[in-house]
Amino acid sequence: MAPTHALNHEQVAAYLERIGIAGAPAASDAATLRRLHTAHLHSVPFENLSIHLGEPVALDGTTLFEKIVKRRRGGFCYELNGLFALLLEALGYRVHRMSARTFSTAHGYSPPLDHLALQVTDDTGTAWLADVGFGRHTELPLRFDDRTDQKDPGGLFRIAENDDAELTVLRDGEAQYRVDPKPLALADFTQACWWQCTSPESHFTQSIVCSRLTDDGRLTLTGDQLITTDGAGRRQVEEVASDEQLLSLLRDRFGIELAKAPRLPIGRP
């Protein structure tokens, strides 16, 4: 599918600077894809702050570039993988945008288009599952056509075939989502994005979240708690008691500068 907004040379350079990479890569190979993937996860937070700030969420490339690169914000799957796909295409990769149905033990699999994942083909013709918009997940892309266990800093992953055309992505033996490999356009996710941003049944409307990889674990702001997890899985929890503290944490720990605080959903108006 054709991109909704091709990134020009200056935008590619700004995007690479945003994720801490100096200079355009020389090749659209697997090593470069891995480098881009992990740099993105360390630099650009998974966050839903726009919903709790009353900001519109739009899925066109111009708006996504303005938010994530120029304003140095994050986003959720449609935004993060949506813009990452445009970067990869500008660097010479072939990208398919795919619908995924996320899994939870309480509700089973969600409806189609609940998540956006990417199939990325490098310059050797090798296909990869790339996903910088799922929060805690792989740090590196997975071989898309490999049905064996694949080790990753985020766990032991496997892409399993099903009776239908969908593929199940598992982490440490537990289903994460089922992906439909049929290529879609980013615009196909517009209605699902609107539901995620507005429905009281969406978990994105129920609590604020902001999360990114760190050098030795993960940093996650959820509701009124800041959770720091190290590489061994040990957690430290810090209570967020005021708007001033929240704004300071977003600025100092996530690189997000806001003029006002998003609504904290627990115990506050």
Q: Which amino acids are annotated catalytic?
A: 77, 115, 131
CA dist 53 and 69 (Å) reads 19
CA dist 126 and 133 (Å) reads 22
CA dist 137 and 236 (Å) reads 20
Helix (H, G, I), strand (E, B) or coil at 21: coil
Q: What is the DSSP string of 82-147?
A: HHHHHHHHHTT-EEEEEEEEEEETTTEEPPTTSEEEEEEE-TTS-EEEE-SSSSSS-SSPEETT--
Residue pair 262/49 in contact (Cβ under 8 Å)? The answer is yes
Crossing angle between the packed helical segments 9-18 and 77-90, to the nearest 10 degrees? 130
* Integer angstrom CA distances of residue 191 from 38, 44, 59, 109, 149: 29, 24, 10, 18, 34
* Integer angstrom CA distances of residue 156 from 84, 207, 228, 231, 241: 24, 29, 22, 15, 37
Q: What is the DSSP letter of 35?
A: H
First-to-last C-alpha distance (Å) of the chain: 43
Quick one: residue 119, left, alpha or beta (phi over 0 = left, psi -120 to 50 = alpha)? beta
Residue pair 5/86 in contact (Cβ under 8 Å)? The answer is yes
